[in-house]
Structure 1
């Protein structure tokens, strides 16, 4: 069982010609509404890949009976929710320009309940964007911890980052989040890598890097037609974690994460084009060959 902690949200995703400067405006060329929230995206990806997953999240009284709830039930996602009456389920407003740069405005809504909620101790947990103090408490109480600060990295204090990283086994981040963590901690990237057992740093369309066992390994991105980059990182984490609990080697887990992410970016929305395990395998074989366990069986 993989446990995922963090936001469940409704995503309003818009395309714009350019991201405006302060006191300026821009034209929205397309706007759509999708199921989202970093933790919920990862849980959906894991469920579709065939692994058991429990989502720990906060929702408002608008969630019960919603299409989003029905979608999670269809996927078989187990849910441990803090339901907060009189609040909205968190809502994200994302704007992506023609160069694929992105800006996000996030209404926490019910997720404010994380601050006072009792943190669970879990056997294997991935912590996505959520309340920093809540994530620190989950990390302290859990046995095996995977951590992804996401765009909430700017809300972590030095003390919170030090606490959570001290209890983290696998650290995920993109290049912007790595830079911010280093700035907050007053450390270099090399220092950060040494503090965790394994680190995976993604670089958008330029692939990702795995740091494990004193080695540095590059994983190229899978070339596809990009429609929307939103949710690519969440899909990568879903693929990695699903492979990790199946006891694949870390490099293979990264490759599976890369393939899973390649599906997500082919359509708008974070959960609209996530693959099953068989679909992932089909594309994996094309770009990375046979999985190591398939080779062992020959």
Structure 2
């Protein structure tokens, strides 16, 4: 039976803009097109796990417009457990405004809305938790209570105090970062990359189109990207984490977990929107075997 993966962080409504160039100070550039989608790192991961056939539970703070937006019904339709949602009827739900240029560079503006309330709350005890972008104080509290901790500070890393970051890292079993974030983690804690590897059992670092690397107890696995026609990079990292974590809870070797994550990410980039084209386990398995050979059998 699958282990429930509790995912902490944002359930956001994403407004995605295609622009010719990302504006800097005192500049204006045309918007080519824009669309609205369901997103937020935690919700993206939870719904991807559920579509893959895993058991996902979401901890997030949502506003009074969450149900009327259709987002609540969408998560329930895919089987995401919403029993631990915090509801604030007088608040707006979280929204992200993401601008992507023709070279796939991005600039993001984020309205926390109800998510800002997390810092005031006492989290529940959970078995297996993934900490996505969220309030750093809440993440530090729940990391101390959880049996197994996966941590992805993401773009919210700039909001972490050194104390909260170190507190979470001390309780982390799997750390996910990109190549920029891992350097910032090192700078903020005063530790070298080798120190981080000695401190945390498994570290995963993504390198955009160059794939990712999985580090564990002195071993290093290089994980390639799955070649597809990429339309939108938004949500690829969340899809990777969903695939990796579900595979991990099912007992697959870490290298296979990385390859499964890469396959799931390849579906996310094929269409605009973080949750638009997420695969089932069987669909993932088919693409996995087309690219990496037979998926190992797990008892």
User: C-alpha distance in 2, partners of 1:25/1:193?
Assistant: 44
User: C-alpha distance in 2, partners of 1:72/1:226?
Assistant: 25
Q: Cα offset for 1:65?
A: 4.1
Counterpart for residue 194 of structure 2: 190
User: C-alpha distance in 2, partners of 1:81/1:74?
Assistant: 16
What secondary structure sits across from 2:297 in the alignment? helix
User: C-alpha distance in 2, partners of 1:131/1:107?
Assistant: 13
User: C-alpha distance in 2, partners of 1:101/1:191?
Assistant: 31
Aligned-pair Cα RMSD in Å:
1.1
Counterpart for residue 14 of structure 1: 17
User: C-alpha distance in 2, partners of 1:205/1:286?
Assistant: 19
User: C-alpha distance in 2, partners of 1:149/1:66?
Assistant: 27
Task: Determine whether 1:26 maps to 2:10.
Answer: no
- Taking structure 2 as the reference length, the TM-score comes to 0.96
1:239 to 243, 246, 251: 243
What secondary structure sits across from 1:78 in the alignment? coil
The 5 Å alignment of 1:114-263 reads 114-263=118-267
User: C-alpha distance in 2, partners of 1:64/1:263?
Assistant: 27
User: C-alpha distance in 2, partners of 1:116/1:64?
Assistant: 23
Deviates more, 1:142-151 or 1:59-68: 59-68
Task: Determine whether 1:36 maps to 2:39.
Answer: yes
User: C-alpha distance in 2, partners of 1:18/1:249?
Assistant: 42
Structure 1 runs of 4+ aligned residues shifted over 6 Å read none
Q: Cα offset for 1:99?
A: 1.1
Q: Cα offset for 1:66?
A: 3.3
Unaligned runs of 5+ in 2: none
User: C-alpha distance in 2, partners of 1:26/1:146?
Assistant: 39
The 5 Å alignment of 1:88-127 reads 88-127=92-131
User: C-alpha distance in 2, partners of 1:266/1:174?
Assistant: 21
